[in-house]
Structure 1
Amino acid sequence: MTRMPMTATEQAIAHLDAATWAAANTRMATKMLAEFSHELLIAPSKEADDEHVYTLSLEQGVQYRFAARVLELEHWHIEPGTLEKTVDGVPAALDAVTLVTELRDVLGIGPAALPIYLEEITATLYSMAYKIAHGGPRAADFVDGDFQRIEAAMTEGHPAFVANSGRIGFDSIDYRSYTPEAAAPIRLVWIAAHTSRAEFACSADRSYAEHMAAELDAATHAAFTARLTDRGLDAADYRFMPVHPWQWHNKLVYLFAGEIATGHLVYLGFGQDTYQAQQSIRTLFNRDHPTRCYVKMALSILNMGFTRGLSPYYMRGTPEINDWIDTLVRGDDYLQTKGFSILREVASIGYRHPQFEAAAPKTDAYNKMLAALWRESPFKQIQSGQRLMTMAALLHRDAEDASVIGALIDASPLDTDAWLARYLDAYMSPLLHCFFAHDLVFMPHGENIILVLEDNVPVRTIMKDIAEEVGIMNTEIELPGEVARLSVEVPEELKVLSLFTDLFDLIFRYIGAILHTERGYSQQAFWQQVADCVRNYQAAHPEFTDKFARYDLFAPEFKRSCLNRLQLRNNAQMIDLDDPAGNLQFAGTLVNPIARPPA
């Protein structure tokens, strides 16, 4: 008897069996205890008779017990398979949502935010169960893996955040249609936006016509134009605009109904190209024409501390900002020797709804529902023999707990020391230079960095997500036009955290732990590599000696900046983008693993 294919309703729950759900909860509870311990939200106690076994005792007889190693930067590596829960001494099932409710007082989450956070935790569990059920490629497969297959294989997103896949707003069909792990083909909705409401901007090396000719095939462009003409409209009065299908069906057809009815917005149809969602969920990669631009669009779902809209007001200056950063990078001899580059956001468009604009501040989510930008493809920047990989892959472990970074080292001609030195020189050295030479900081987490590999060795890095996540921390520098938006006032003592937190705590803490626990590569050896990279840069740039002293990367300790505390404090808007430093959450300090030994 032939089995009928599953319906969408059946597919939505196909991965929700008891064993998979238990595995997801174990993984989530383990991560929760590790990251909450790192942020000093909880303090497990070491058992008297075994220094590697810890217990966390809570109210009503609840106790968690596990074996762990506390590594550099107070990274808690909980040994797989050791986490157990008891209630009054009786074994109990691990449940991540229950764990949050048990910890609600120490987490400091308010009563209004708690149910939303529980929804985010549950949605992240749902996603984790999906990934467990589907397995994904082995770590060794990443060695020859396709750029987009690797992108879809990531299981953690941002590794520090516990609730990192909330995606509140998606239903179960949306999950299989639009999430990066589903990797389903997506075709974009295209609309025509009247120039009285919409503003298009582009880089100096292109025009609107040239950009659209590059992104739409001639037949599609002609068909879209004909639809305007058939309605008696002049195409010169409109700008073509891509819209995420979810945004069209769930937001725009309702909230922009008046704009559609009056012809300020005209539905054109679906484009021909298929795209794939990236880890940054509102950014899509063109699968049919990989050298065409990524498209990033407003997507009004709540995910990891923000509603993921796009500001039409920010879009106005995006290409100008990207051109300015690109010129700076290309004009810097040191950055060029390191091969460091950016993916320019070369065009943007934003639509202003007059009624929402009159009713709410420009920063409100209702004024961020219809905007898009186009970002260059990295395939235009690589040479023969090179391939691309998201840097998030270096923190990834497969279903058998094998690491991708380990597989890359094994498949390369280098030993661990030499491989790490090459990686740090490709990744960290340019960021050090941007900080010390230009007071320029990026958001260099794994999703925002693309590694260029040769023989499985990183040879250079490409930075993306520029306009929204770049800052100039010297307010005395006069910046032109829209670029002035990059000027950010940061207290002097916090400036160096852009390196300590973003690199040391959020990237190197995990890489060092993976290499130590999987391969026995010592923590001392790893952090010596980091220290050597810093010293090599400083030795090559004596002109910045004063800055090296002022922003001392060898200081004994640095402030512990806590991302989960941020999300727990306000999971609807973690930070004010106009004052990012003003919202940071700190908890004591971390011992700097590269601090100079005492004299």
Structure 2
Amino acid sequence: MQPQHLAYSKKAEKRVKRQLVEAMIFEGIIKYKETETADSYSIFYLFGENRTYRCEGRRTAFDRIRIKEASIFKECQDHSLVEATIEELAGELIRDGEHKLRLINELSQTIKLCSWNELHLPQPASRRKSAYEELESEIMEGHPYHPCFKSRTGFTIEDHKKYGPEAKQAFHLKWIAVRRSLIQTAICGDEQDFFKEELGSFMWEELLKQLESMGGTFDHYTFLPVHPWQWETMKPELVKYMKTRHILPLDVSGDPYRATQSVRTLWNAAYPEKAYMKFSMNMVNTSSLRKLASHSICAAPHISSWIQKVIQKDPYLQKEASLVILQEYAGMIFEAEEEKLDGQLGVIWRESIRAYIQDGEEAVPFTALMMIEKDGNLFIDDWLKNYGSDNWLKQFIKVSVLPVWHLLAAHGIAVEAHAQNMVLLHKNGWPTRVILRDFHESVEYTEGFLADASLVPSFEEIHERYKDAPEDDYYWMSSVEALRELIMDTLFVFHLSELSFLMEEHYGYKEKHFWNKVGKLIEEHIERFPDLITRQQEFPYKKAEIYVESLLKKKVKNKEEGNFRHLVRNVFCHIQQEEEK
């Protein structure tokens, strides 16, 4: 599966193959048999259409599968073992030729971009002292579970060098004027004041001057920033709108921006305290096409305001936890009748973490906590040694897990707390607070479980898409179980399970001790607030098996939406059973 015209990394291929096999077994996408060995590992036999594969690995918390990279083989007719290829494994998942090729191309693109990074972007000796913004580029590893963790469909190597976060290149946004009849805005207050505040008087005047020179006025047009890669990608589809003057391309540069880990969210390289900007990008990365929906852009400021009001009314969240959310306070999107343009030109403004960091505090993305440095130790190695694994972990859980759990138990609000949506604030490695972000598509609630339904935005008044919409399509769920699933999926199964696994691998800190500490601190927290004891019983998080999302199966089935989930053994149940013996 060697990418053409590019130095090829066997290391990257082995990692992609390993994560592919781990996901295949974990999600039960292929039939398999597990045979335990004497050293706590297992031999996994995977039964394909015409051949059998085998590999060695073990189950960890929440049934997560951890495979040894060098152990993935196919059995030949003479019973010899030959290294399995990615194409062969992908062929066991998908029969349709075009669909299979699409998956193989995404896996190949991931290998290609990782290979380029290895060759051209050597890692610093240590990332432990890097500033937060630099870490957004230096954390090159990508998603630790999904095999298409750097697929970025449509990106060439040149695009990757210019717009990928890893290369640390600054670039300018493309600004266009859009006729108001074709744009939705979600801006609180006066629109002119908003642009002046965001852009500064000089750039605002330049935009107005160019618009007027082209025969337009601000009464009939407004200004929309677009990611430059997206503009070049979508420009052929927009020619007719430029010919009819519904779109007027402008020649104003503004501040330089750099990409964060998510690629489409950018930070202001000249003024880091200014807003992050999240853009539509017509690319698939991991499981999703990275567009922005009109209705979610319109809802974003209302959702941020809602959560902020909840925090302000809760003494624990506001004072003790000092929970911070980065509010998505404005958004705009181009709307056209063509389906292929739906969600393709949109932007959300989000607060910068620099507005919240206090003296003595530093910030690290949660993704950094699971990274291994060149010295072979974890990014957090010094912190664990300085404070002791038990003490540090206890404080870490108090700071990061309990506020998210409290939002659900006390208020009935579930947030998508995966690693890219969380930032840890600390003082010399000692956790102090957590920052949550990215709410416009990833907040859920059940009406009957809300503590204060009067604070919930009137979604049906925000966008027509929400009018008479059924449960489970947007933010309102049909059961509290859906809220439990979102929290445990994102925070535990696909997030902190990486840290628990690495702490056992590197320090001998047993996963059962890790999750026992999480469970006990949750219970102690709930006991502090007697009203929450009954509420927590409505989402029993200790049952023997729980549903989790099937991330790879969604891609295999070639669907953006759907109820892709599977059952796994719940680590909290097994810990309790062991204690009761």
Task: Output the CA distance in 2 between the equivalents of 1:84 and 1:259.
Answer: 54
| 1:53-68 mapped onto 2 (5 Å cutoff) | 54-56=43-45, 63-66=53-56, 68=57
Aligned length: 558
Query: What displacement does 1:537 show?
Result: 1.1
Provide the residue aligned with 2:19 in structure 1. 31
| 1:407-556 mapped onto 2 (5 Å cutoff) | 407-410=382-385, 413-474=386-447, 477=453, 479-482=456-459, 487-556=475-544
Task: Output the CA distance in 2 between the equivalents of 1:78 and 1:313.
Answer: 41
Provide the residue aligned with 1:369 in structure 2. 344
Query: What displacement does 1:345 show?
Result: 1.0
Q: Which amino acid aligns with 2:195?
A: M
Does the 8 Å contact 1:25/1:95 carry over to 2?
Answer: no
Provide the residue aligned with 1:332 in structure 2. 314
Q: Which amino acid aligns with 1:381?
A: Y
| 1:86-235 mapped onto 2 (5 Å cutoff) | 87=76, 88=78, 92-93=82-83, 95-101=85-91, 104=92, 107=93, 110-134=96-120, 136-137=122-123, 141-203=126-188, 206-235=189-218
Query: What displacement does 1:390 show?
Result: 1.0
Does the 8 Å contact 2:419/2:495 carry over to 1?
Answer: yes
Task: Output the CA distance in 2 between the equivalents of 1:109 and 1:319.
Answer: 43
Provide the residue aligned with 2:269 in structure 1. 287
Task: Output the CA distance in 1 between the equivalents of 2:348 and 2:46.
Answer: 49
| 1:257-406 mapped onto 2 (5 Å cutoff) | 257-336=239-318, 337-353=320-336, 355-356=337-338, 360=339, 365-398=340-373, 401-406=376-381
Q: Which amino acid aligns with 2:7?
A: L
Q: Which amino acid aligns with 1:237?
A: H
Does the 8 Å contact 1:441/1:473 carry over to 2?
Answer: no
Task: Answer yes or no: is 1:585 the counterpart of 2:568.
Answer: no
Does the 8 Å contact 2:74/2:82 carry over to 1?
Answer: yes
Query: What displacement does 1:89 show?
Result: 5.4
Query: What displacement does 1:235 show?
Result: 2.9
Task: Tell me the alpha carbon deviations over residues 56-88 of structure 1, each in whole angstroms, 9 at most, x when there is no partner.
Answer: 36566664443x333232233334655566644
Query: What displacement does 1:380 show?
Result: 0.5
Provide the residue aligned with 1:595 in structure 2. 576
Task: Answer yes or no: is 1:240 the counterpart of 2:210.
Answer: no
| Secondary structure of the structure 1 residue equivalent to 2:250 | strand
Task: Output the CA distance in 2 between the equivalents of 1:40 and 1:156.
Answer: 25
Task: Output the CA distance in 2 between the equivalents of 1:213 and 1:71.
Answer: 52
Does the 8 Å contact 1:343/1:464 carry over to 2?
Answer: yes
Does the 8 Å contact 2:302/2:457 carry over to 1?
Answer: no
- Residue from 66, 72, 77 that aligns with 2:66: 77
| Secondary structure of the structure 2 residue equivalent to 1:77 | strand
Q: Which amino acid aligns with 1:322?
A: S
Distance 1:135 1:77, change over 3 A: farther
Q: Which runs of 5+ in 2 are unaligned?
A: 467-473
Query: What displacement does 1:437 show?
Result: 1.3
TM-score normalised by structure 1 residue count:
0.86
| Secondary structure of the structure 1 residue equivalent to 2:115 | helix
Provide the residue aligned with 1:8 in structure 2. none
Task: Output the CA distance in 2 between the equivalents of 1:395 and 1:506.
Answer: 12
Task: Output the CA distance in 1 between the equivalents of 2:493 and 2:432.
Answer: 23
Task: Output the CA distance in 1 between the equivalents of 2:177 and 2:303.
Answer: 25
Query: What displacement does 1:188 show?
Result: 0.4
Task: Output the CA distance in 2 between the equivalents of 1:495 and 1:558.
Answer: 12
Distance 1:491 1:323, change over 3 A: closer
Does the 8 Å contact 2:410/2:535 carry over to 1?
Answer: no
TM-score normalised by structure 2 residue count:
0.88
Query: What displacement does 1:503 show?
Result: 2.1
User: Which stretch shifts more, 296-305 or 206-215?
Assistant: 206-215
Task: Output the CA distance in 1 between the equivalents of 2:306 and 2:46.
Answer: 54
Does the 8 Å contact 2:542/2:570 carry over to 1?
Answer: no
Query: What displacement does 1:292 show?
Result: 0.8
Does the 8 Å contact 1:452/1:460 carry over to 2?
Answer: yes
Task: Output the CA distance in 2 between the equivalents of 1:408 and 1:136.
Answer: 25
Task: Tell me the alpha carbon deviations over residues 73-124 of structure 1, each in whole angstroms, 9 at most, x when there is no partner.
Answer: 22333346555666445564553333322xx1xx366555222111111111
User: Which stretch shifts more, 220-229 or 372-381?
Assistant: 220-229
Distance 1:408 1:567, change over 3 A: farther
Query: What displacement does 1:14 show?
Result: 7.8
Task: Tell me the alpha carbon deviations over residues 231-280 of structure 1, each in whole angstroms, 9 at most, x when there is no partner.
Answer: 232233322211011111111x2222222122222111242311111222
| Secondary structure of the structure 1 residue equivalent to 2:165 | coil
Does the 8 Å contact 1:350/1:371 carry over to 2?
Answer: yes
| Secondary structure of the structure 2 residue equivalent to 1:509 | helix
Q: Which amino acid aligns with 2:459?
A: E
Backbone CA RMSD of aligned residues: 2.7
- Residue from 230, 236, 250 that aligns with 1:254: 236
Task: Tell me the alpha carbon deviations over residues 412-457 of structure 1, each in whole angstroms, 9 at most, x when there is no partner.
Answer: x411111111111111111111101111011110001111121112
Task: Output the CA distance in 1 between the equivalents of 2:39 and 2:514.
Answer: 27
Provide the residue aligned with 2:469 in structure 1. none
Q: Which amino acid aligns with 2:253?
A: G
Task: Output the CA distance in 2 between the equivalents of 1:546 and 1:159.
Answer: 36
